[in-house]
Structure 1
Amino acid sequence: MAQEVRGVVAPGKNQPVRVETIVVPDPGPGEAVVKVQACGVCHTDLHYKQGGINDDFPFLLGHEAAGVVEAVGEGVTEVAPGDFVVLNWRAVCGQCRACLRGRPQYCFATHNARQKMTLTDGTELTPALGIGAFAEKTLVAAGQCTKVDPEVSPAVAGLLGCGVMAGIGAAINTGGVGRGDSVAVIGCGGVGDAAVAGSRLAGAARIIAVDIDDRKLETARRMGATHTVNSRTTDPVEAIRELTGGFGADVVIEAVGRPETYEQAFYARDLAGTVVLVGVPTPDMRIDLPLLDVFGRGGALKSSWYGDCLPSRDFPMLVDLHLQGRLDLAAFVTETIGLGDVEAAFDRMHQGDVLRSVVVF
């Protein structure tokens, strides 16, 4: 029987979000209903509200979430009612060419729930990243549920669902940061700080954080940065080279998603070094680089989508590292808020006042 719950809806482009009554259907084949315990306020949710993703309004926002499986549909075997899970937005298919090659982290046919959640008048909602977790309960594909150790705080675990995983994965999975490497991270919001933390976890010897906000640089230092550069007052390329013996960093992670910062990343890496783009650009952005420089500098230019993660592999591992005291995921939580505080949280995010606000139910 369908349930009615409260959820945060973006009704139209740049319109204030509002708390509405949401109708959540019973799970169908391959689906699960999850009782949400916590959900982070991610910049991607703001992009949805601003119409920067698409115009499939109204959106049911929220996607960095953890909770307990309440019910499952026919054929579901990977999770059961009562399981504590982190939600992910890439339920792998197991059948596409990437999956069949043993690389499910690059699955080309990921999927979400088939049924739609609605408003009480029947208006269909588009769930953010196929999740829609600024709601007391949500409907997802069962493959979007990843079981983790229930000892972890939901407010902490949910952040692995997007931004923290994207940053850590950009460093470890995409960038291949290893022991003794030098790393530069350009842009120290939630994803950039996670890249700093991931680089530290991987054993990087030198981690250089770059941003235009001294508050963010101080946070990056707490996350593991060994050096900081304010690029508002200092040329970041020259500063990174100076801090790496004149050579440039082995891995440079661009966590802003702008042409000018990508160009900085390109020239701030060592010969045969790696650039990782994890910041999300807008469709109109272009970059112009001398092709001879692309050839002559060697190395690799990579894009990191969701940190090249495989949730079933990476989420439990990172939760275990957190519980062991080796990865401070709690440091990413600036504040906990209620469901009606999401609009104000977007304002604080825009001002750079928070690393993560987390809605706790």
Structure 2
Amino acid sequence: MAQQVRGVVAPGKGQPVRVETIVVPDPGPGEAVVQVQACGVCHTDLHYREGGINDDFPFLLGHEAAGVVESVGDGVTDVAPGDFVILNWRAVCGQCRACKRGRPWYCFATHNATQKMTIGEGPAAGVELTPALGIGAFAEKTLVAAGQCTKVDPTASPAAAGLLGCGVMAGLGAAINTGNVGRGDSVAVIGCGGVGMAAVAGAQLAGAAKIIAVDLDDRKLKQARTLGATHTINGRTADVVESVRGLTDGNGADVVIDAVGRPETYQQAFYARDLAGTVVLVGVPTPEMKLELPLLDVFGRGGALKSSWYGDCLPSRDFPMLIDLYRQGRLDLDAFVSETIELDGIEEAFAKMHRGEVLRSVVIL
């Protein structure tokens, strides 16, 4: 039987979010209903509210979440009621050309739940909601495709574990999966928001010898040192490219990760890497941005220019492994939780995020 729960809805472009009653249907074939325990406030949720993703309003926001499976539909075998899971926004299909080639992290046909959640009360009752990234987890319960649920160690803190659902996984994966950072490498990370901080932590986890954090905010640079940065550069007062080269014997870093996603930061990343080094773009550009580079430099410097989408992660492989490292004390996911809030605190959390005061505000349900 369908349930009514509270959830945070973005009703229209630029409008403040509000807590609404929403209707969560029983899971159909291949679907699961999850009781959400914690969900991080990500920049992507703000992009949805501002109409920066698409205009399929109203949105049910929230996607960096962990919780407990309440019920499953027909044909679901990988998770069961009572399982503690992290939600992901890329349920792989197993049938596309990427999956059949043994590269499911590139799946070209990821999917979400088929049924729609709806607004439950008021003038908009019955209106279908678009869940953010196919999840919609600023809610007491949500409906997802069962493949979006990854079972992990239930002793992990939901507030910390849920952050692997998006931003932290994107940064860790940019370093470990896409950048292939190895022992002894030098790494520079441009931009120390949540994703960039996670890239710093990922570089340390991979054994990088030198980790250079770059940002415009000394507060963030100070925190980057607690997560593994060995050196910091404030881009307001120093030339980023020359500073990175100066810290790497004049050569440039083996891997440079652009966690901002602007033409100017990408150019910095391109020229701050060593010959035959790797650039990883994990910051998300906006549609109007254009990049201009001398083609001869692209050819002459060699190496690899990569984009990292969701950290090139495979949730079924990466989430349990990273939670195990967290439980062993080798990955400090708790450091990314700046504060815990309630459902009605989302707008203030957006403001704090915009001001650079938090890595992540986390809604506890």
Coarse TM-score class (shorter-chain normalised): over 0.9
- Of residues 153, 162, 170, the one that matches 2:157 is 153
Structure-2 residue corresponding to 1:206: 210
**Matched residue type, 1:289:** L
Give me the TM-score of the superposition, normalised by structure 2. Answer: 0.99
- CA-to-aligned-CA distance 1:147-197 (integer Å, 9 cap, x gap): 000010000100000000000000000000000000000000000000000
SS at match of 1:284: coil
Q: How many pairs are equivalent?
A: 361
- CA-to-aligned-CA distance 1:54-78 (integer Å, 9 cap, x gap): 1111000000000000000011001
Q: Where does 1:323-338 land on structure 2 (aligned, <5 Å)?
A: 323-338=327-342
> 1:331 offset after TM fit, Å?
0.3
SS at match of 1:198: helix
Structure-2 residue corresponding to 1:57: 57
> 1:249 offset after TM fit, Å?
0.2
**Matched residue type, 2:85:** V
Q: 2: distance between equivalents of 1:50 and 1:236?
A: 31
Structure-2 residue corresponding to 1:36: 36
> 1:284 offset after TM fit, Å?
0.5
Q: Does 2:230 match 1:250? A: no
Q: 1: distance between equivalents of 2:303 and 2:96?
A: 29
Q: Where does 1:33-182 land on structure 2 (aligned, <5 Å)?
A: 33-120=33-120, 121-182=125-186
Q: 1: distance between equivalents of 2:178 and 2:91?
A: 20
Q: 1: distance between equivalents of 2:204 and 2:179?
A: 13
> 1:92 offset after TM fit, Å?
0.3
Q: 1: distance between equivalents of 2:66 and 2:6?
A: 17
**Matched residue type, 2:71:** A
Q: 2: distance between equivalents of 1:109 and 1:337?
A: 35
Structure-2 residue corresponding to 1:238: 242
**Matched residue type, 1:114:** T
SS at match of 2:162: helix
Q: Where does 1:186-335 land on structure 2 (aligned, <5 Å)?
A: 186-335=190-339
> 1:221 offset after TM fit, Å?
0.8
Q: 2: distance between equivalents of 1:151 and 1:132?
A: 24
Structure-1 residue corresponding to 2:14: 14
Q: 1: distance between equivalents of 2:233 and 2:4?
A: 49
> 1:267 offset after TM fit, Å?
0.3
SS at match of 1:348: helix
Q: 1: distance between equivalents of 2:59 and 2:231?
A: 40
Q: 1: distance between equivalents of 2:68 and 2:186?
A: 40
SS at match of 2:89: coil
Q: 1: distance between equivalents of 2:88 and 2:194?
A: 17
**Matched residue type, 1:49:** R
Q: 2: distance between equivalents of 1:37 and 1:201?
A: 27
Q: 1: distance between equivalents of 2:269 and 2:51?
A: 28
**Matched residue type, 1:360:** I
Q: 2: distance between equivalents of 1:240 and 1:13?
A: 40
Q: 2: distance between equivalents of 1:50 and 1:291?
A: 36
Give me the TM-score of the superposition, normalised by structure 1. Answer: 1.00
> 1:35 offset after TM fit, Å?
0.1
> 1:91 offset after TM fit, Å?
0.3
**Matched residue type, 1:249:** A
**Matched residue type, 1:29:** P
> 1:322 offset after TM fit, Å?
0.4
Q: 1: distance between equivalents of 2:48 and 2:33?
A: 23
Q: 2: distance between equivalents of 1:220 and 1:10?
A: 32
Q: 1: distance between equivalents of 2:119 and 2:156?
A: 33
- CA-to-aligned-CA distance 1:273-316 (integer Å, 9 cap, x gap): 00000000001100000000000000000000000000000000
Q: 1: distance between equivalents of 2:267 and 2:12?
A: 35
> 1:139 offset after TM fit, Å?
0.1
Q: 2: distance between equivalents of 1:65 and 1:204?
A: 29
Runs of 4+ in 1 over 4 A off after TM superposition: none
Q: 2: distance between equivalents of 1:185 and 1:153?
A: 27
